[in-house]
Amino acid sequence: MTQPTAPKTAKLTFGDQEIELPVMVGSEGEVAIDIRQLRAKTGAITYDPGLGNTGACQSKITFLDGEKGVLRYAGYPIEELAKKSSFVEVMWLLLHQQLPSASQLSQFTHDVTYHTMLHEDLKALFQSLPKVGHPMAVCAAAVGALSTFYRKEGPTTREQNWIDAVRLLAKMPTIAAYSYKHSIGQPFMYPRNDLGYASNLLHMMFGNPCEQFEVNPVHAKALDLLLILHADHEQNCSTSTVRTVGSSGANLFASVSAGISALWGPLHGGANQEVIEMLMSIRDGKRSAREFMDLAKTKGSGVRLMGFGHRVYKNYDPRALILKQACYDVLGQLGAKDPLLDIALELEQIALSDSYFIERKLYPNVDFYSGIIYKALGIPVDMFTVFFAIGRMPGWISQWLEYQSDAEARITRPRQVYMGSTTRSYAPADKR
């Protein structure tokens, strides 16, 4: 594929000074002006709140084109992976940027399966926390606590990092399930090595020691799909948090614990929970979808439309298209009908035909439909973001590992434009 040509340098005029800055071109044609020497040459910095125009790293993991609605993991379209791959295979793909051979996949599946158990002493951490605490806070604490169980002496090695990566991928479902079991006062369920990744998670969530629990294969397949779609999404808030913390030399567990906290925010991973709460408010308030959308357009109404629009996508989120069909498939296979899906479809139809939403490029995003599937699977609403974190785990780990091997990586240290008081003299309290 022929990429558009770009100049090799960009000229910047700053007062009576003109400097040349190198231009970089990514493998998909993205153009970036390298400003690393800007301050040294001019004394000036750039100002970019939210860093929406700033490339903080070079990466080979995920490509995202928000204008065209394209998402690829290491070159593979998300639509193809969702249809043909598995979450465990996608883990390997993100970690290595290559699909595994049959033998590699078999060994990796074995390793992830046989590292799922938690140290028995870690149970005390869950039991020491209030049952009413949000499970994301519990998961962040438990992942951070893994650092105390897997301490290292001396400099880390690639082999040690890989072992920690496998441990974290394997143990995150167990941590998530334990956080849920603790919140409802039920005994923890040990993982089962005879189950696949998604099935094991559902077993630990919903099984109990009193009776045999059979995992519904439709549920497991739907969950596997959700995890694939959540696996990575370029330099979003939580991923950049993991990279930032990792840039300080912090270990993998500490870095990912910070990422979990970032994902917890309602503007990030917590959005799918807010979508369900919005749909339920429409249902329970006896308000029509049209009335709700009219209020969403009215300034000062206090009504917010959740699950539409995206910081990066200015087109239909490709993950939302996949999940929209998955909603039909899952509910159809389960023989269930959810009025929330009917409300969601009506909201989508209105948004796609209303100039207000079209002009603002407010298309459904992945959060809009994922909550409906989680609800159909019986996942409690406050666990939605935890399941998002399980899915995002291989992306976070891949990004952390990539940063550790980047020869140009430096500790993250943004600049600021100071707008406070200039130099002042201190005066004693009785003279102020």
> Which residues are catalytically annotated?
310, 367
Q: Which of 21-30, 89-98, 266-275 has the lowest mean pLDDT?
A: 266-275
Which position has the higher pLDDT, 284 or 273?
A: 284
pLDDT band of residue 5 (cuts 50, 70, 90) is: confident
Mean pLDDT, range 202-223, rounded to an integer: 95
Order across the sheet with 31-33: list the strands.
9-14, 17-25, 31-33
At residue 363, does pLDDT exceed 90? no
User: pLDDT tens digits for 82-124?
Assistant: 999 999 999 999 999 999 999 999 999 999 999 999 999 999 9
H or E segment and range at residue 64: strand 62-65
At residue 313, does pLDDT exceed 80? no
Return d(Cα 321, Cα 70) in angstroms, integer: 12
CB 147 within 8 A of CB 90: no
Residue 432's Cβ-count burial label (10 Å; 0-12, 13-18, 19+) is exposed
Residue among 299, 291, 307, 296 nearest 341 (CA) = 307
Mean pLDDT, range 160-165, rounded to an integer: 96
pLDDT band of residue 4 (cuts 50, 70, 90) is: low
Helix, strand, coil shares of the chain as percentages rounded to 5? Answer: 55, 5, 40
> 203-215 burial, b for 16+ CB within 10 Å, e for fewer?
bbbbbeeeeeeeb
At residue 160, does pLDDT exceed 80? yes
CB 66 within 8 A of CB 313: yes
Backbone torsions φ then ψ of 283, nearest 5 degrees: -65, -50
Tell me the residue type at 82. Answer: A
CB 348 within 8 A of CB 363: no
pLDDT band of residue 345 (cuts 50, 70, 90) is: confident
24 forms beta bridges with 32
| Percent of the chain residues topping a pLDDT of 90 | 74
Average pLDDT over all residues of the chain: 92
At residue 354, does pLDDT exceed 70? yes
Which position has the higher pLDDT, 309 or 427?
A: 427
Tell me the residue type at 27. Answer: S
Which position has the higher pLDDT, 311 or 399?
A: 399
Confidence (pLDDT) at 137: 96
User: pLDDT tens digits for 413-427?
Assistant: 999 999 999 999 999
Mean pLDDT, range 230-242, rounded to an integer: 96
Return d(Cα 89, Cα 77) in angstroms, integer: 14
Both tokens of residue 321? 């298209």
At residue 223, does pLDDT exceed 80? yes
Which position has the higher pLDDT, 353 or 143?
A: 143
At residue 1, does pLDDT exceed 70? no
At residue 411, does pLDDT exceed 90? yes
pLDDT band of residue 10 (cuts 50, 70, 90) is: very high
Mean pLDDT, range 140-165, rounded to an integer: 91
User: pLDDT tens digits for 50-62?
Assistant: 998 999 999 999 9
